[in-house]
Amino acid sequence: MLEITPTPPQTVHTFCRYCLASCGVEVTVEAGRVVKISADKQNPHSWADFCAKGRTAAQLVEHPRRITRPMRRVGDRYVEATWDEAVADISARMSAIISAGGPDAVATYTGNPSGFSSSNLLFMTGWLDAIGSQNRYYVGSVDQNALHVVAQAMYGSQLFVPVSDIDNCDFFLLVGANPAVSAWNWVETVPGGWKRALARQRQGARIVVVDPVRTESAEKADTHLAVRPGQDWALLLAMVKVILDEGLEHRDDCRDLAGGMAALRALAAEADLDDLAARCGIPRTDIETLARDFAGAPGAMAITRTGVSLHLAGTIGEWLGHVLNVITGRMDRPGGRRFERGYVDALKLAAFAKPVDHRSRVQGRPMVAGHHGLDELPGEITTPGPGQIRVMVINAGNPVVSGPDGARLDAALGQLDLLVVIDFLQRESHRHAHWLLPAAHWLERDDLLALTSGLHDEPYVQYGRRAIDPPDDAREEWRFFLDLTLAMKRPFLGIRGVNGFVRATRALARVTRKPSCAFGPHWIDRMIIASCRGISWRAVMAHPHGWVFGKREFGHLRKALRTADKKIHVAPVEFVDRARELLAEPHPVAPAGRPFQLANSRRRHSMNSWLNDIPGLHPSGKDNHAVINSHDAAALGIADGDRVRVFSDIGAIELTAVISDRPRPGVVIVDHGWGSRVFDPRGGAEPVSFGVNRNLLVEGSPVDPLSQTPALSSAYVGIERVGL
Ligand SMILES: Nc1nc2c(c(=O)[nH]1)N[C@H]1C(S)=C(S)[C@@H](COP(=O)(O)OP(=O)(O)OC[C@H]3O[C@@H](n4cnc5c(=O)[nH]c(N)nc54)[C@H](O)[C@@H]3O)O[C@H]1N2
Ligand SMILES: Nc1nc2c(c(=O)[nH]1)N[C@H]1C(S)=C(S)[C@@H](COP(=O)(O)OP(=O)(O)OC[C@H]3O[C@@H](n4cnc5c(=O)[nH]c(N)nc54)[C@H](O)[C@@H]3O)O[C@H]1N2
Ligand code: SF4
Ligand SMILES: [Mo]
């Protein structure tokens, strides 16, 4: 009798690529399937934030509605096709549209998860440069553009991001951040950042949280200041003013490290403390005490996050947070913000990128961080004329739910000649897709996230190994973009000769039967490591749990600055001008009939608009609610559990009211990311969805003129009880 020996379980050590916490994970694989994911306790750097999203990652891999083969729309159904058919059809249609309307007729939207793949963005850019389109959209204008704009103006590179030195900090000023839930994310990887901050608190450090909502983080803080949404700039400018007026600044740094102090002082002198206090809704005396305490603490840091950036004055708030750190001597000092070099000099690489002066066709707006504002996309699709967008590729994104005015974008996407989507599931933004292309999950992918190596709070490298193989017909995005470039007969990266080289390596791979001979991201990973000081490929491979290859060092910031004078520019003229505009504006007044501001929060078990449908997450219920302040609810006659309608000029949503004292009066919280349908292109079953999309209430314009971000977390809305 034939005996079948079961394959013994294998253990793979890698890291989770859902969020920047990058938790080390131990993946148990049996017969090609993931049976368990747990925290890799041997990871010396990054397992401390491990959460249920990482633990349940295999459920997305095995999702019953997962797209596992390319699917083409035929009428109102989808049929499976081969990759050759997909690439041939897409390249032919794109080429014809480019011949008729020029390269800008083809546009892309790239979402947040693309940043967690080493090859996705690089190869997509290679293809975009090949065809010459500048109609590039990405998640930045609903996320981190403010940071890039500030980094460029103050430090000379949009990728210059100082990291938090938590373990030496005595005073944490957390503005618009909820690290208890979001894992000290937003463009840095500080493993266990929140737990480490709480450990410092037990040793005497102070935590101040500035947030219109008493969040999980605010509850643990020593002080919670319930700022009025969108008005952090006023609070931070007031703090800067107190520090400068009272001579509390760090004299040496203000003289040697900062450039533009005179302009900053002039701005501060013009501002009036009572006016600023009234704008942000925090008493003047509280601001004065806060400023003095912050300036006087031995080690301190201000951090500003999405709660600051997703507003019309977001860039000014972000800027003033950095200014506070600079003028109080927190840059490159223990307990403040450090510059981590990483193993790759991302700033140097970024400096090679040619700046592109491309204006949007309809509104004539420039790009921010190499992309146009998402609010412009619908108009660019629907307005006729040369350069009108006729083709879109949505790569790892769900902008109809994550961006403003989803209804308008959805209608525009429905008018395209060709919509190509690369994802695991067909979600809300993908409902009009002509082609659905199956992507590989991080459990199925090797990644070396070299370009973000400087975001870790210590010198760290880990090769993200794949734990399992992807389904036969799922592919990593890079492969699609490279094949598409070859099929369109345009030079990859816009460089002649590359296509011939790629073909030659592919031929070699066939002849030698060694797939690794074919050009791909693994070549680039190898080249990067080979060019790094102090680490080698062999050593990286010898550290499957990740490798802390050095100490946290100070003293590298000054040299890393990319400004011509090697100073930090504390008063870039465009920021000062915008601050003056804000100071001249009347105090914010709610429009008639819409007296509330719509705030947002994230949940530990959600990842923006995805993972909500994964079983086992959200044990208390898969839904979002309208969390209304108890005084406001009483005035409206709304009780806990009532159905309410929340509305703006452009839309209305219905949800269940939760009465709470967590939001400040006048603020209603509705979590973003809900209300995205998951379709079933293979089985044809009804779509499933949970909760409602609160961004349907947020208008695309106006935007912050500097970051092109709309008022995602401070739109004005009305609330009424349903059935009245
Ligand atoms: N009101 C309000 N709106 C917000 C925010 C807020 O705080 N308030 N937050 C904003 C922020 S910070 C962000 S980052 C954005 C997010 O905005 P987006 O990035 O546009 O949207 P996500 O919800 O992250 O959707 C990501 C999509 O990528 C898919 N995906 C996941 N991994 C991969 C992969 O490896 N490859 C491919 N091809 N696809 C993949 C998922 O299935 C999902 O469909 O939302 C923003 N919107
Ligand atoms: N569990 C989980 N973790 C995540 C994500 C997720 O979706 N789920 N997303 C990841 C991503 S893409 C990002 S960018 C990061 C974001 O990380 P964070 O920026 O820390 O994100 P949030 O948890 O939304 O915290 C923002 C806080 O700002 C507050 N806020 C809103 N408006 C204002 C305002 O005007 N002023 C002030 N001071 N505060 C305001 C909100 O109430 C909220 O508590 O988190 C990452 N981590
Ligand atoms: S999703 Fe959870 S497990 Fe994954 S990196 Fe973020 S915090 Fe860690
Ligand atoms: Mo984000």
Q: What pLDDT sits at residue 352? A: 83
Over residues 85-99, the pLDDT tens digits come to 999 999 999 999 999
Three-class SS of 374-405: HHHHHHHHHCCCCCCCCEEEEECCCHHHHCCC
Chain-centroid distance, C-alpha 178: 15
- As a whole number of angstroms, the distance between CA 140 and CA 157 comes to 16
Ligand 2 atom nearest to CA at 607: 7
Residues sharing a CB contact under 8 Å with residue 361, sequence separation 6 or more, in sequence order: 104, 380, 383, 385, 387, 388
Over residues 388-437, the pLDDT tens digits come to 999 999 999 999 999 999 999 999 999 999 999 999 999 999 999 999 99
Q: Please report, for the chain, the start and end positions of each structural domain, with discontinuous segments joined by +.
A: 71-139+349-441+474-543, 145-340+558-581, 590-724
- As a whole number of angstroms, the distance between CA 333 and CA 557 comes to 10
Residues sharing a CB contact under 8 Å with residue 589, sequence separation 6 or more, in sequence order: none
Phi, psi at 102, each rounded to 5°:
85, 165
Q: What pLDDT sits at residue 8? A: 82
- As a whole number of angstroms, the distance between CA 593 and CA 215 comes to 27
Q: Is the preceding peptide bond at 702 cis, omega within 30 degrees of 0?
A: yes
Distance between Cα 21 and ligand 3 center (Å): 6
Ligand 2 pocket member 609 (CB < 6 A) = no
Over residues 333-381, the pLDDT tens digits come to 999 999 999 999 999 988 888 788 999 999 999 999 999 999 999 999 9
Ligand 3 pocket member 673 (CB < 6 A) = no
| 20, 53, 189, best to mutate for ligand 3 pocket (most atoms within 8 Å of CB) | 53
The architecture that CATH gives domain 145-340+558-581 is 3-Layer(aba) Sandwich (3.40)
Residues within 6 Å of ligand 1 by CB: 111-113, 117, 139, 142-143, 306, 310, 395-399, 402, 422-425, 427, 439, 477, 600, 608-610, 672-673, 695, 712-713
Q: What pLDDT sits at residue 354? A: 78
Over residues 143-174, the pLDDT tens digits come to 999 999 999 999 999 999 999 999 999 999 99
What mean pLDDT is reported for the chain? 96
Is 2's pLDDT higher than 60? no
Over residues 616-653, the pLDDT tens digits come to 899 989 999 999 999 999 999 999 999 999 999 999 99
Ligand 3 atom nearest to CA at 54: 3
Q: What pLDDT sits at residue 118? A: 86
> Would you say the CATH fold of 145-340+558-581 matches that of 71-139+349-441+474-543?
no
Over residues 174-207, the pLDDT tens digits come to 999 999 999 998 999 999 999 999 999 999 999 9
Ligand 3 pocket member 158 (CB < 6 A) = no
CA dist list (Å): 378 to 266, 375, 712: 41, 7, 17
Distance between Cα 163 and ligand 2 center (Å): 17
Is 659's pLDDT higher than 70? yes
Q: What pLDDT sits at residue 702? A: 96
- For β-strands 258-259 and 568-569, DSSP reports them as parallel
Split at pLDDT 50, 70, 90, the class of 1 is low
What fold, for 71-139+349-441+474-543? Answer: Rossmann fold (3.40.50)
Q: What pLDDT sits at residue 355? A: 80
Which CATH entry fits the domain spanning 590-724: 3.90.1300.10, 3.40.50.410, 2.40.40.20, 1.10.3720.10? Answer: 2.40.40.20
Ligand 2 pocket member 177 (CB < 6 A) = yes
- As a whole number of angstroms, the distance between CA 279 and CA 336 comes to 28
